[in-house]
Structure 1
Amino acid sequence: MEKELVFGHQNPDTDAIGTAIAFSYLQNKLGYNTEAVALGNPNDETAYALKTFGFEAPRVIKTAANEVNSVMLVDHNEPQQSVSDIEDVDVSNVVDHHRIMNFNTSKPLYYRAEPVGCTSTIVWKMFNENEVEIPKNLAGLMLSAIISDTLLLKSPTTTADDKEAVDALAKIADVDYEEYGLRMLKAGANIADKSEEELIDLDAKSFELNGNNVRVAQINVVDLPEAMARKEAFLKTMENSSKENGYDMFMLLITNILDSDSEALVVGSDDNKATFEKAFGKKLEDSEVKLPGVVSRKKQVVPPLTDAFEG
């Protein structure tokens, strides 16, 4: 059987990497020949989870067609978030929890998308449906992915399925998920030793919204004032990145993981800033706005931006 690569989105987070490893393991148990790879290096949070449960980081690829004819996607479907030569390979499987956008294939495929907080929750269901046992260390990594995407089950994206998966996986992994989860989130919230260029690219995705190339980045912190002290440096770096990459608008969401509040920094044209204000019903003051309770890019940021740009 021909080998297939399994990977998540660019600028991978714990869900993208952890779920790729889990889904690849499941597919191999079901008789397929797959390898989990990544489209970037793990961030600090993901590295902490990998180390805790004894995993090596997957190797990073830039292209796929030079290695395989077919790939499996997890935690994304939009081509601009995928491997650079995605159009040159067949997509045989997609497991995702995001919107479906600009996605086309030439052949039939297995596609599973559910509106849950984390892709790893869906893969947990698939293990159960196929009666495949989840190893202890893999359960810990899948648990880490759900904790990351749901901010320890505090995000509005969290569903009953996510909570059930967390309880089940924590038992298999033999960890206190609240205690471990806080340690993991804090491991990824240290921004003092990173440059603004690194931070705006750690967890960033591009979205095509009514002809506009919109970049939305997010960083998690435990000290919001410390992060906001770097506001001018962030704005300058976002402006430079927009010029270099053709972004029509760049939004940076800075989220305090301890109280689930955020502040946003926005650069772009006056028209696009006005669209941003329309989306959130708030005025930008010197390119900044407070967004209390907003922690989810998928559920609380992209949908209102989409409506505003298309309206």
Structure 2
Amino acid sequence: MEKELVFGHQNPDTDAIGTAIAYSYLQNKLGYNTEAVALGEPNDETAYALKEFGFKAPRVIKTAANEVKAVMLVDHNEPQQSVPDRDQVKVTHVVDHHRIMNFTTSEPLYYRAEPVGCTSTIVWEMYQENGVEIPQNIAGLMLSAIISDTLLLKSPTTTDKDHAAVEALAKIAGVDYQKYGLKELKAGTNIADKSEEELIDLDAKSFSLNGSEVRIAQINVVDLPEAMERKKAFLTAMETAAKENNYALFMLLITNVLDSDSKALVVGSDSAKAKFEQAFGKNLVDAEASLPGVVSRKKQVVPPLTEAFE
């Protein structure tokens, strides 16, 4: 059987990388020939999880068609978030927990999407359904992914399935998920040694909203006031990126992982910024708005922006 590559989205987070590894292992057990790869280097939080459970980071690919004829996608489906030559390979499987947008294939495929907090929760279900035992290290990586995506089960995206998965995976991994989870999340909040240009691209996704390109980046911190001291530099970097990439709107969500409050920094055209204000019922003051309780890009940011742009 010819090899297929398994990968998550660009600017990969712990779910994109961890789930690719877990899903690749499962598919190989089911008779496929796959390799988990990544579309970027792991961030600090993901690197922490990989090291904690004895994994090396997957190799990074720039294109896929030069290596394989088919791929499997996890934690994404939108073309602009995927490998740039995705249209040149066959997509045989997708496992995701996001909206489905601009996704078409010429042939039938296996597609599984569930409205849960993390893609690894779905893959956990699939291990059970197929009677495949989850190795301890992979359980730890899947646990890390769910902790990351749900902010230790505090995100509004969290479901009963996520809770059940965390309990089960923590038992297999042999860790106290509360203690480990805090360490993992804090590992990803060190922004002092990174430039503004790096930070606004570290966890950023592009969305096509009614013909407008919208870029939404997120940074997790434990000291929101300290992060906001870099506001002017963030805005300068965002304006440059928006101009270079023709983004109608560039939004940076800075989230305090300890109290689940966020600040939004926004640049773009006047009409696009008006859409932001409409979406959140907030006036931008000096390119800034407070968004208490908003922590999920997928559930609390993209849907209201989509509605406003439409």
Q: Same fold (TM over 0.5)?
A: yes
AA in 1 matched with 2:282: K
The residue aligned with 2:120 is 120
Rounded Cα–Cα distance in structure 2 between residues aligned with 1:50 and 1:309: 38
The residue aligned with 1:307 is 307
- Give the TM-score taking structure 2 as reference length: 1.00
Map 1:232-251; keep pairs closer than 5 Å.
232-251=232-251
Moved over 4 A (4+): none
Structure 2 counterpart SS, 1:116: coil
The residue aligned with 1:205 is 205
The residue aligned with 2:259 is 259
Structure 2 counterpart SS, 1:193: coil
Map 1:85-124; keep pairs closer than 5 Å.
85-124=85-124
Kindly state the Cα deviation for residue 245 of structure 1 after the two structures are TM-superposed.
Answer: 1.1
Deviations 1:210-251 (A, max 9, x none): 110000000000000010000000000000001111111000
Task: State whether structure 2 residue 195 is matched by structure 1 residue 195.
Answer: yes
Deviations 1:243-273 (A, max 9, x none): 1111110000000000000000000011111
Structure 1 counterpart SS, 2:32: coil
Deviations 1:169-225 (A, max 9, x none): 000000000000000000000101100000000100000001100000000000000
AA in 1 matched with 2:224: L
Rounded Cα–Cα distance in structure 2 between residues aligned with 1:29 and 1:245: 41
Kindly state the Cα deviation for residue 114 of structure 1 after the two structures are TM-superposed.
Answer: 0.1
The residue aligned with 2:289 is 289
The residue aligned with 1:219 is 219
What do you get for the CA RMSD once the two structures are aligned?
A: 0.3
Deviations 1:142-163 (A, max 9, x none): 0000000000000000000000
The residue aligned with 1:158 is 158
Deviations 1:96-138 (A, max 9, x none): 0000000000111000000000000000000000000000010
AA in 1 matched with 2:15: D
AA in 2 matched with 1:103: F
AA in 1 matched with 2:128: N
AA in 2 matched with 1:72: M
Rounded Cα–Cα distance in structure 2 between residues aligned with 1:206 and 1:186: 26
- The unaligned stretches of length 5 or more in structure 1 are none
Structure 2 counterpart SS, 1:10: coil
Map 1:8-157; keep pairs closer than 5 Å.
8-157=8-157
Rounded Cα–Cα distance in structure 1 between residues aligned with 2:167 and 2:2: 36
> How many residues are matched?
310
Rounded Cα–Cα distance in structure 1 between residues aligned with 2:93 and 2:32: 12
The residue aligned with 1:277 is 277
The residue aligned with 1:171 is 171
AA in 1 matched with 2:46: T
AA in 2 matched with 1:127: Y
AA in 2 matched with 1:14: T
AA in 2 matched with 1:239: E
Rounded Cα–Cα distance in structure 2 between residues aligned with 1:285 and 1:227: 17
Rounded Cα–Cα distance in structure 1 between residues aligned with 2:215 and 2:270: 16
Rounded Cα–Cα distance in structure 1 between residues aligned with 2:10 and 2:306: 21
Rounded Cα–Cα distance in structure 1 between residues aligned with 2:195 and 2:286: 22
AA in 2 matched with 1:234: F
AA in 2 matched with 1:155: S
Rounded Cα–Cα distance in structure 2 between residues aligned with 1:243 and 1:268: 9
